[in-house]
Structure 1
Amino acid sequence: MDETIEIEGLRTIVDRFDHVLLDQWGTLHEGQSIFPAARDCLARLRQAGKRVLVLSNSGKRARSNAQRLASLGLPTDAYDGILTSGEVTWNGLKKRTRAPFAELGRGCFLIARGGDRTIVDGLDLAIVADPENADFILLAGLDDAAADPEYWRQRLTGAATRSLPMLCANPDLAMFGAQGLIPAPGALAHFYEMLGGRVTFVGKPHAPIFKAALDELGQPPPARVLMVGDSLDHDIAGAHAAGMLTLFLRAGVHRDSPNEPVHGVAGPNARTPHWTMTRLAW
């Protein structure tokens, strides 16, 4: 497929895929409640025999995100599973069978939102209070008050100087705070790279979370898997690199340029989706 095709609903391409990966924020909800059309679409997909996984860049474990979706009106039996970058990170640190997890030590300086420690629960780690005493930094989330990368400059400069590795479990560059869009963990990770630090990213658009999704689905051909999301940089680029089909939703993170052609918004071919529509609908 050489150019993006506009569609009105997934029903028009339902024979092109067997499995669906759904982004969470901007695709299923925007923090208030599940979009009614999205809820109906999930029911129709399941009726059509499609397997549906929610794929999120949340640095929290899958269970926390499932509870969050249920509170917004989407029960766990509405989809087949949920996979977060936090869950992939936890599994990697638990098994320690492949890079980059196998090379990391036990001393962990944890940066998480609201003091959440679920990403390290049950792991053989020693959580330390200062990067000076750590073997690596685990970046899972950020409080609004600590979202500005400059807030971390003093603490992270020394860590970068001694090449302390950072594991970023949420590559998102921006998130919604009380005052609107603010820097997300991915922005802090890139700031750490700018300081000279070494960072490994786990979530979209990076390969580990898409490999984990294929594992969860039983290793189907990637060309029979459809990724649906509102981020060209994370959902579309990551799935494209994994060899998957892609559907871009305009009424999301790129909503400020609704009249611009998708190719103009997308830029490089790696960010050009196969299909596009306004919101998730059947």
Structure 2
Amino acid sequence: MIDQHPTSFAGIQPTPAWAFEQYESIRERLPSASARQAQPRLVDSLAPLMSEFDAFVFDAFGVLNTGPSVIPGALDRLARLQADNKTVLVLSNAATASHPALAIKYQHMGFDLDEETVISSRWLLEQHLRQTPNPGIWGVIAPEKSQPETLPLPNNSTRTVRADVDEATLDGLDGFIFLSSEGWNETLQHRLTNSLTRRPRPVKVANPDLVAPRGDLLTLEPGYFSHLAATATGASLEFFGKPFATAFEAALARLPGIDPARVLMVGDTLHTDILGGQAAGMSTLLVTRHGALQGMDIQNCIRRSGIYPDFMTPSI
């Protein structure tokens, strides 16, 4: 199946440098950085850290895979951790696929993971929807393959937002759930912005990422379009995923009895994986070769952002 996540928007083709500046521009909406400003310890891989921690929480894109391709060495690294009886979790901002489908995706790639060891931002959203009243009719931004009808909302309370939606239909909705940016474009963004300008309503964002690495490209994700709409309209955003606290609380809840400092959060993005992990009290490892900071002056990014990982490596 052809991936339809946008790789450009309004003349913009996202690059790591552009994405870094975008994350910096929304810092007021993200958790605060810790006061720690020590230079990260450089390691060649995750190997020298395996004995230092009791549990490992991995971001997916840019650490384990780029799009459908597994990053070399990732399968072996997770298998070795599991063979050493280390607890391994994946904490992903993926929301296009249902949670069961995401677990199956990683199994097909060869990872020994299941629904208990994968925590997706879509799963976090669904837990919220089960526990919180959400009256009214909600527009779900997602392709058909995302199975938006499986969201735990009352019957007939969702409408899928597709390419042919008009502004009158959008105006009749009481809120929006942004599951996936697949198929999203300038026309749809313009219609959504116009509708939210006329009547601001809440937007629940299942994937807070601005970009995601897919091979040699960065795709634009729901976080980018949601921030763009909120800046233009004042719409209220609610996020489910990294760097926000609920994502890390869910991971730590699956690691009972383990001190968060003995948990290593492994990710490729300073503003999501590292920032959120630090805020949760975890130790952090920044991976630089394959993800959102590929080709950047990493030390300069760390200084500018004020987000200092404990460790840094090209690849796990």
From 163, 175, 179, the equivalent of 1:140 is 179
Percent of counterpart pairs with the same letter?
28
Alignment of 1:44-193 (within 5 A): 44-59=80-95, 60-76=97-113, 81-96=117-132, 102=133, 104-118=134-148, 120-124=150-154, 126-128=157-159, 130-144=169-183, 146-148=184-186, 151-175=188-212, 180-193=217-230
Unaligned runs of 5+ in 1: 97-101
Q: How many residues are matched?
A: 268
Cα distance change on mapping 1:180 and 1:27 into 2, 3 Å: closer
| C-alpha distance in structure 1 between counterparts of 2:257 and 2:197, whole Å | 38
Question: 1:81-138, CA deviations, whole angstroms, 9 ceiling, x for partnerless residues?
Answer: 1000000000110122xxxxx4x32421100134522574343251136332322210
Structure 1 SS opposite 2:180: coil
Cα distance change on mapping 1:113 and 1:220 into 2, 3 Å: farther
Aligned to 2:292: 253
Structure 2 SS opposite 1:157: helix
Q: Do the aligned residues in 1 keep the contact of 2:40 with 2:312 (CA within 8 Å)?
A: yes
Unaligned runs of 5+ in 2: 1-35, 161-168
Alpha-carbon offset, residue 67 of structure 1: 1.6
Structure 1 SS opposite 2:51: helix
Cα distance change on mapping 1:235 and 1:147 into 2, 3 Å: farther
| C-alpha distance in structure 2 between counterparts of 1:268 and 1:119, whole Å | 42
| C-alpha distance in structure 2 between counterparts of 1:141 and 1:203, whole Å | 13
Alpha-carbon offset, residue 179 of structure 1: 9.7
Q: Is the aligned partner of 1:200 residue 2:238?
A: yes
Aligned to 2:70: 34
| C-alpha distance in structure 2 between counterparts of 1:42 and 1:176, whole Å | 20
| C-alpha distance in structure 2 between counterparts of 1:236 and 1:119, whole Å | 33
Alpha-carbon offset, residue 183 of structure 1: 2.2
Q: Do the aligned residues in 2 keep the contact of 1:245 with 1:274 (CA within 8 Å)?
A: yes
After superposition, the CA RMSD in angstroms is 2.5
State TM-score, norm by structure 1.
0.85
Alpha-carbon offset, residue 39 of structure 1: 1.0
The letter of the residue matching 1:247 is: L
Q: Do the aligned residues in 2 keep the contact of 1:52 with 1:80 (CA within 8 Å)?
A: no
Which structure has more relative contact order (CA 8 Å, sep 6+)? It is 2
Alpha-carbon offset, residue 269 of structure 1: 6.5
Q: Is the aligned partner of 1:244 residue 2:282?
A: yes
Question: 1:8-56, CA deviations, whole angstroms, 9 ceiling, x for partnerless residues?
Answer: 2333223332111101111111124323411111111112221111111
The letter of the residue matching 2:39 is: E
| C-alpha distance in structure 2 between counterparts of 1:173 and 1:227, whole Å | 20
